A and B are shown apart, each in its own frame.
Chain A
Amino acid sequence: MKPHQILLCILSTFAVLAAVCVVGAGRSELVRVPSIESFLPDLPARTTPDSLLADDEPLVDTVLAVADTLSAEPVGQPAMDSTPDQPKVVKLPETLPQTTLFLPQFYAALGKADEQSVRIVHYGDSQIEEDRISMIIRRRLQDRFGGGGIGLVPMVQTIPTYTAKQTLEQNGHEVPNSAIKRYVAYGPSSMRLKDDNRYGPMAQVAYITEPIDVNIELLRDRVPTYDYDRIRVLCTDSVRFTFVTDSATHRSAIIHFEGEGYVYGISLETATGVQVDNIPMRGAAGTNFTTMNKQMFADYFRETNTALIIMQFGGNAMPSIRTKAGLDKYVLAMRQQIHFLMSAAPNASLLFIGPSDMITTVDGEQQTYPLLPQLDSALTTMVAEEGGAYYSLFRLMGGAGSMISWRDMGLAGDDMIHFTRAGAKKVGEMLAAQLLEDYDFFTEALADTIVQSPNDSINE
């Protein structure tokens, strides 16, 4: 064949494809046909954190820069009435996309952390697995307010964490996790308790029938943690336990269990300072709290002096939210969960961390889930109405499409849903810094001030 004949074939193929695109684009749902426009280059960059800054700035820092800018807005703008005769009143803005300012009980408790334990319970989905995010918050707050240990861990650690290695031993030999029966309030229904909803504060429970040791080793070479000085075990009365700790370094503890009954968790903690529990619920949308025994939550929150509950959900719900009605239904369900937890912990503040940006494929284009911005807004409003603080990961990251940039920078995985360890660390550092900054603002600038949520009326 001659080159001009081959060229003709190439061009003919292009022509056939162009004709198919012109005739078929958008006509069929069964066979997707691209439009001609989709072949034209989209050289103008999408809205991403890096596009907001000068080209020559290092990419990694841009995310933090944007985060700082966004998070600074609401914090710096509360309307303050400073009439000399009356107490100062702060009315927080209607929308609180990224603020941790409105956590009055928590900040008040933090101020007394040198004489009492201040517990933070961090619930979330797979974004916080492996103690990601929580361990950063724990470390930064313990740096400042004291405290030690790693907080509450389940008896059977099926998903290893960066902070501690947990193994089970019987007769001096390691046994697999499957040696212990576990029940969880999320995940498949086959793992639920039968005719019972007493899962405890970790939403999971282990059932033991014979003697067994739980060996917990803090991985301090990997993640530095402060010493714990006591161990709390949550279990039914039918279970007996003793423990041995490495008193010199506090690197490890062996808890020996006997009897038959339920174990709800083990906490390595200190008598004073900050404790942070990391409680991931794999695959959960966060709507399962109300199916569990409330009294167990209330008891735990009261006994541990829980001052802050963090809920980090939304990511697992997003793929199944396809309509406004579905979105409203989810937000309503989350409102009920917040009610549930806040009524179980009347002395605690609530911080809701919204879903991160998440990417899906729409007509061949990678883009943010179409209803994610609305979900973020709706959760912002709902949480504010419930008197909690809302921390919008979505806006913090840079808004729609920003997950692609986070992925490109190695901060998010290729699934463009989960953070990498570096990304989780960045989020944890940002949140911890925000909490500390807002604590200072709360205790210094607002020392004699009444802080009101947007839906409260000013009562003079």
Chain B
Amino acid sequence: MLEWLTYDPAHPLLFTQFYFWAFFAIVYAGFTLIMQRAGVNRGRLHARNIYLMAASWFFYYKTSGIFLLILAFITLSDWLIGKRIYKAISSQQSAISKLWLILSVCIDLSLLFYFKYAYFFTNIFNDLFGTSVQVFDIFAYIGNGFSHDGRFLVDRIILPVGISFYIFQVISYAVDIYRGKIEPVKNILDFGFYVSFFPQLVAGPIVRASEFVPQLYRPFFLTRRQFGIAVFWILNGLLKKIILSDYLAVNFIDRVFQSPMLFSGFENFFALLTYSMQVYADFSGYTDIAIGVALLMGFYLPQNFDSPYKSRNPQEFWRRWHQSLSRWLKGYVYIPLGGNRTLLGRPASKLLASNCNSFLTMLIGGLWHGASWNFVIWGALNGVGMIINKCWRALNEHIRYILMLLLAVAMVAARQLTHDAYALVNMVEVWVLILWVGTSIWYVGWLWGFRTDTNRFVRWIDNAWAIIQTFVFISFTRLFFRSASNLDPATANREAWQTAKQMVHQIGCAWDNSIILPFIQEYKYVVLLFVAGMIIHWLPDRFKRRYRLWFAAMPLPLIILAAAAAVLLAYQFITADMQPFIYFQF
């Protein structure tokens, strides 16, 4: 029994496991007791917040063990400094309030950099100066001083779960106070609840203080329909995560990314596309569950995904993808960098300032996702894609076509000149030629008078073409993202780069059309799931909203039965036989 209550790295509390839901049921029972029995309204809310904070800390302890101390320290530090910032602002000492803000951000970012980027910067240092400096975990060293049994490894820095998320939350708290958007939270326990609320603690959405803090003082209120919607989000997230994400990952994607050279070019390319589906289903599934669970307790978390693969261009994609992060980066990085007004503190043209600051924001956003050059490359590619697309859209149709024609000719010439089988050149050439064919058809249609604003069919085709281009581009950038994910930070740079290179090599040099059909036959479940996932994703929003509301309006017994059926359906995929290894290249 004691083992259930203590930290066990092999048994974290995950949304897709029974233990989490048993934990949630117990927490909810306590929550119900408090909401029923506690005294006056204000005291009841205070008791609720303290109770949920305790539950959240237990959740984090079960997930990250002793790193709970980091969470506690951050809570204390930012709560104290938040009060100081507010006091300085109230007495109109702007310089002092800025100093307190800088201190707060420095403390927060220092912790983030220490735990997340120690290896990254150590590697850079070693590469620059030819040294072989190793990381040293000062916290483990201090811990060993207390425990006297050397239980902590000093030569290894472990990344605490969710630190990137809660550090960004506390930064938003300090900045929002500084900007006068919110007042500091009076009670540290209430603040602790905001920082650690368990549904969104380890994977977001990133909740800004101005969005969540007011809810701390709002009484519980949930309509019957909201309850149905909450259950819908939970089941939707659960099925997305288990069926679309985990099944695709285990049975296909992970295998390819682990050893790209064992698979043909088409398999590598398909792995990239399916990874786009997997990462979306995984991340959005998790936040769907978080939103549903929080809603059952009467808290509203912001929407985090808005059908991102319906985007017509990279800019739109980033407005629909991980919206809480995009908003955070816009509010706390892009705007402070100068937005579309200044560049490096100096006035600049709107176009230059906006593009440069967007690019820098994407670089920082890339690095936030992980400590490896691949994440930086991923961020940079997205930034470049956004800028090029923005400039492209500003051109008129004739210039667009001429440019595309020139690009296609240049790529064919480059291919002819190089002769050798350079994977990247091959890939880019094929993609440019596809774009050129598409652009040519579009241009001819435009010359013939087909317009998107007058012809629905043309608009639909134009939309589909733009969406597919964006999807392929985003999927390609994920080559660098996935390659760098789930790696030992000590070797992440080398391995990630190697994987990305190998995948490009296979896609560019080991493509064989003859295996496409056999592949579809042998991996039919993987292909079917991917296609089904994309079709569901592309369903019109109003249709999705309709069936969501229809579900929420079902009688309670039916909702309960639907929940049980969804769990059983998910179980079928969890227990499904693994897709056997099939080779297509000998």
Contact = CB atoms under 8 A, between A and B. Distances in A.
Interface of A: 1-4, 6-7, 9-14, 16-17, 20, 31-34, 39, 41, 43, 45, 56, 126, 129-130, 158-160, 167, 173-178, 184, 186-188, 191, 282-283, 316, 319, 360-361, 363-364, 410, 413-415, 417-418, 420
B262 A129 contact: yes
9 contacts: A3-B28, A4-B32, A16-B560, A17-B567, A159-B585, A173-B419, A360-B578, A415-B250, A417-B581
Contact of B254 (A167, A184, A414): A414
Nearest to A316: B581
B234 to A, nearest CB: 10
A41 B28 contact: no
B571 interface: yes
A34 B568 CA distance: 9
Given A4-B36, A319-B580, A415-B581, A16 B564 contact: yes
A128 B258 CA distance: 15
B127 to A, nearest CB: 16
B520 to A, nearest CB: 16
A33 B568 contact: yes
B294 interface: no
Contact of A3 (B36, B419, B571): B36
Nearest to B24: A10
A411 B212 CA distance: 43
B18 A39 contact: yes
B421 interface: yes
B553 to A, nearest CB: 14
Given A9-B560, A43-B8, A31 B583 contact: no
Contacts of B21: 14
Interface stretch (B102-110, B177-185, B220-228): B220-228
B3 interface: yes
Interface string B249-273: 1100011001101100000000000
Contacts of B92: none
Contacts of A174: 419-421
A357 B488 CA distance: 24
A375 to B, nearest CB: 17
Nearest to B34: A3
Contact of B577 (A12, A126, A173, A360): A360
Given A33-B571, A130-B261, A417-B581, 12 more contacts: A4-B32, A9-B231, A9-B559, A32-B571, A32-B572, A158-B585, A160-B261, A177-B510, A319-B580, A364-B571, A418-B258, A420-B258
Given A9-B559, A175-B421, A20 B568 contact: yes
Contacts of A11: 25
A187 B586 CA distance: 6
A90 B268 CA distance: 53
Nearest to A182: B586
A361 B420 contact: no
A130 B258 CA distance: 13
Contacts of A184: 586
Contacts of A129: 262
A414 B250 contact: yes
A1 B488 contact: no
Contact of B575 (A3, A7, A364): A364
Contacts of B24: 10
A9 to B, nearest CB: 6
A184 B559 CA distance: 57
Interface of B is mostly: helix
A33 B567 CA distance: 10
A160 B501 CA distance: 13
A9 B231 CA distance: 10
B222 A6 contact: yes
Contacts of B125: none
Interface in B137-153: 151
B399 interface: no
B11 interface: yes
B220 A3 contact: yes
Contacts of B258: 413-415, 418, 420
Contacts of A20: 564, 568
Interface in B141-169: 151
Nearest to A159: B261
A188 B11 CA distance: 43
Contacts of B28: 3, 6-7, 10
A410 B488 CA distance: 9
Nearest to A410: B488
A159 B262 contact: yes
Interface string B492-516: 0000000000000000011010000
B328 to A, nearest CB: 31
Contacts of A7: 25, 28-29, 32
A14 B559 contact: no
Nearest to A420: B258
B130 to A, nearest CB: 17
A3 B24 CA distance: 13
Contacts of B262: 126, 129, 159
A191 B259 contact: no
Nearest to A222: B498
Nearest to A33: B568
Nearest to B251: A415
Interface string B537-579: 0000000000000000000100111011001100110111110
Contacts of B3: 41, 43
Contacts of A17: 564, 567-568
Interface string B277-309: 000000000000000000010000000000000
A2 B37 CA distance: 13
A190 to B, nearest CB: 9
Contact of A191 (B18, B575, B586): B586
A9 B556 contact: yes
B25 A14 contact: yes
A17 B250 CA distance: 26
Contacts of B580: 319
